[in-house]
Structure 1
Amino acid sequence: MPSKSPAQILLEKADKRANASTGWLSSSSTKFEEAGDLYQQAANAFKLEKLFREAGDAFSKEAECREKCKETNDAANAWWNAAKAYKRGFPDLAIQALSQTVIHLTQAGRFRQAADREKEIAQIYLQDQNDLRRACESFERAGEWYAQEDATATANACFKDAADLHAELEEYQIAISRYDQVADHSLGSALTKYSVKDYWLKALLCALASQDYVSARRNLSRYGQLDVSFTSTREAKFITALTEALEQGDEEAFTAVVYEYDQVTKLDNWKTAILLKVKRGLQQAPGLT
C-alpha cells in the first residue's frame, strides 16, 4: 500500500478536527479555527505537489471553517486562494470560489477588492469559457464598483471591455453608449485623451454595423465638436470614406478604403470582425446586384 503524502496526512487531520465533537472545555469556534488552519496547511502542501484541484478543495474547506467562526476576512482570503488553485485547469470551480469571495468583500464594504475579483471572473468567462454574455455582465459590475470607489481609469477599462463584448454580441446601441461614456471620461485627462479617437472609431463602426448611416454621420460631427482635432484624424476620414461607400452601395470602394487604412494602421481582430459584419450588411442590402 503506497504511503500517504504529507498533504494527505494534513487533510485527514483537518477532517478529523472539523468533525470532532466539542467537549466541555472547548468551544466549537476553537475547533473550526484549528481545522481551518490544518486545511490551509494541507492546501499549501497539495500546491507543492502540484495537485491544484485538491489544493482548491482544501482551501474551500478552510473557507467554510472560517465562515463558521464568523471570520469573514479570512474566509474571503481562503476562497480567493481556492480560486487561484482552481484556475490551473478548473475554470468552473474558480468562478464559484471567486463568487464566494465577492459576496464576503461586498458585505464588508470592500468594493475595490470585490471589483478586482469580479474582473477576474469576467476574464475566466472570456478566456476559458468563451461565454461573452457572462463576461460582459461581470465587466460591467466590476466597472460600476470601481467607479463607486473613484478608480475611474480602471472602471473605464472594464466598461471598454464590456463595450467590445456588446459589439461582438451585436448589441450595437449599448456598445455605442458605453464607448461614448468612456470617451467622455477620457477627454478630461491629458493622460487618457489620446485613446479617445479609438473609442469613437469603435462607436462609429458599431453605427455602421447596425446600418444606421444617419447616426454615424451625426455622431461623427458631434465628436468633431467635442474635440476639434478629431475631424482631421485618419479615423474620422476612414469613417467618412466608409460611410460614403456604404451609402452608394459600392462594395469595391468599401474594400479599397479598408485595405488602404489597414496598410498604414493595422486593423486588430475586433475591428476586422466588425468590418466583415458591415460588409455583409452591404452585400445583403436591397437594391444591390
Structure 2
Amino acid sequence: MPAKSPAQVLFDKADKKANSSGGWFSSSSSKFEEAGDLYQQAANSYKLEKLFKEAGDAFSREAECREKCKEQNEAANAWWNAAKAYKRGFPDLAIQALTQTIIHLTQTGRFRQAADREKEIGQIYLQESNDLRKACESMVRAGDWYAQEDATATANACYKDAADLHADLDEYPQAIARYEQVADHSLASTLTKYSVKEYWLKASLCALAMGDIVTAKRNMIKYSNQDATFTATREAKFVNALVEAVEAGDQESFTGAVVEFDQVTKLDNWKTGMLLKIKRGIQDEPGLT
C-alpha cells in the first residue's frame, strides 16, 4: 500500500477531528474550528501537489466547518479558495463554490465583492461551457450590484458585455436597451462621453440586424438629440450609409460603406458578425425597385 501524501494525512486528520465527539470540556465550535484549520492546511498541501480537485474539496470542507462556527467571512473566503482551485479544470464545481461565496457576501452586505464573484461566474459560463444565456444573466446581476455600490464604470462594463451577449443570442431589443443604458450613463461624464458613439453604433447595428429600418432611423434622430456632436462622427455617417444601402437593397454600396469604415477604424469580430447578418438580410429581401 503506497504511503499517504502529506496532504492526504492532513485531510484524514481533519476528517477525524470533524467527526469526533468532543470531550467533556470542548465545545463543538472549537472542534469545527480546528477541523477547518486542518482542512485548509490539507487544501494548500494538495495545491502544492497540483491536485486541484482535491484542493477544492478540502477548501469546501473547510467552508462547511466555518459555517458551523457561524464565521461568515471565513466561510466566504474558503468557498472562494475552493472556486479558485476548481477553476483548474472543474468549471461546474467552480460555479457551485462561487455561488456559495456569493450567498455569504450578500448576507453580510458585501455587494461589491459579490459582484466580482458573479462576474467570474459569467466568465466561466462564457469561456468554459459557452453558455451565453447564463453568462448574460450573471453579467446583468453583477452590473446591478456594482451599480448599487456606485461603481458605475464597472457596472457599465458588465452591462456592455450583457448587451453583446443579447445580440449574439439574437435578442436585439434587449441588446439595444442595454447599449442605450450604458450610453446614457456614459454621457453623464466627460471622461466616458467619447465612448457613446460606439454604443450607439452597436445599437444601430442591432436594429438593422432585426431588419427594422424604421427603428434604426428613429434611434439615430434620438441619439443626435441626446448629443449634437454625434451626427458629425464617422460612426453616425457609417450607420446612415448602411441604412440607405439596406433600404435600397443595394449590396454593393453596403459593402463599400463597410470597407471604407474598416480602413480607418478596424472592425472587431462582433461588428463583422453583425454586418454579415445584416448583409444576408439584404440578400434575402431584394430591394423594392
TM-score range, shorter chain: over 0.9
Q: State the AA in 1 paired with 2:16.
A: K
Q: 2:87, 2:94 within 8 Å by CA — same for their partners in 1?
A: yes
- Scaled by the length of structure 2, what TM-score is found? 0.98
Alpha-carbon offset, residue 265 of structure 1: 1.1
Q: 2:248, 2:288 within 8 Å by CA — same for their partners in 1?
A: no
Give CA-to-partner distance per residue, 1:45-90, whole Å, 9 cap, x none.
1111111111100000000111111111100000000000111111
Mapped partners of 2:3, 2:152: distance in 1: 54
Between 1:257-266 and 1:137-146, the stretch displaced more is 257-266
Work out the number of aligned pairs and report it: 289
1:96-245 equivalences under 5 Å are: 96-245=96-245
RMSD between aligned alpha carbons?
1.2
Paired residue for 1:51?
Answer: 51
Alpha-carbon offset, residue 98 of structure 1: 0.2
Alpha-carbon offset, residue 23 of structure 1: 2.3
Mapped partners of 1:191, 1:54: distance in 2: 46
Paired residue for 2:38?
Answer: 38
- Scaled by the length of structure 1, what TM-score is found? 0.98
Q: State the AA in 2 paired with 1:136.
A: C
Q: State the AA in 1 paired with 2:64.
A: E
Paired residue for 1:17?
Answer: 17
Mapped partners of 2:49, 2:189: distance in 1: 49
Alpha-carbon offset, residue 222 of structure 1: 1.3
The yes-or-no answer on 1:268 pairing with 2:268 is yes
Alpha-carbon offset, residue 284 of structure 1: 1.4
Mapped partners of 1:166, 1:208: distance in 2: 15
Paired residue for 1:60?
Answer: 60
Between 1:261-270 and 1:56-65, the stretch displaced more is 261-270
Q: Which runs of 5+ in 2 are unaligned?
A: none
Q: 2:250, 2:287 within 8 Å by CA — same for their partners in 1?
A: no
Paired residue for 1:279?
Answer: 279
The yes-or-no answer on 1:69 pairing with 2:69 is yes
Q: 2:53, 2:86 within 8 Å by CA — same for their partners in 1?
A: yes
Alpha-carbon offset, residue 288 of structure 1: 7.3
Mapped partners of 2:126, 2:199: distance in 1: 21
Q: 2:7, 2:42 within 8 Å by CA — same for their partners in 1?
A: yes
Alpha-carbon offset, residue 280 of structure 1: 1.5
Give CA-to-partner distance per residue, 1:17-66, whole Å, 9 cap, x none.
01111222111111111000000000001111111111100000000111
Mapped partners of 2:277, 2:18: distance in 1: 57
Q: 2:119, 2:138 within 8 Å by CA — same for their partners in 1?
A: yes
Q: Which runs of 5+ in 1 are unaligned?
A: none
Q: State the AA in 2 paired with 1:181.
A: Q
Mapped partners of 1:9, 1:248: distance in 2: 75
Q: State the AA in 1 paired with 2:99.
A: S
Mapped partners of 1:204, 1:42: distance in 2: 54
Give CA-to-partner distance per residue, 1:186-207, whole Å, 9 cap, x none.
0111111111110010000000
Query: Which stretches of structure 1, 4 residues or longer, exceed 6 Å deviation after superposition?
Result: none
| Identity among equivalent pairs (%) | 77
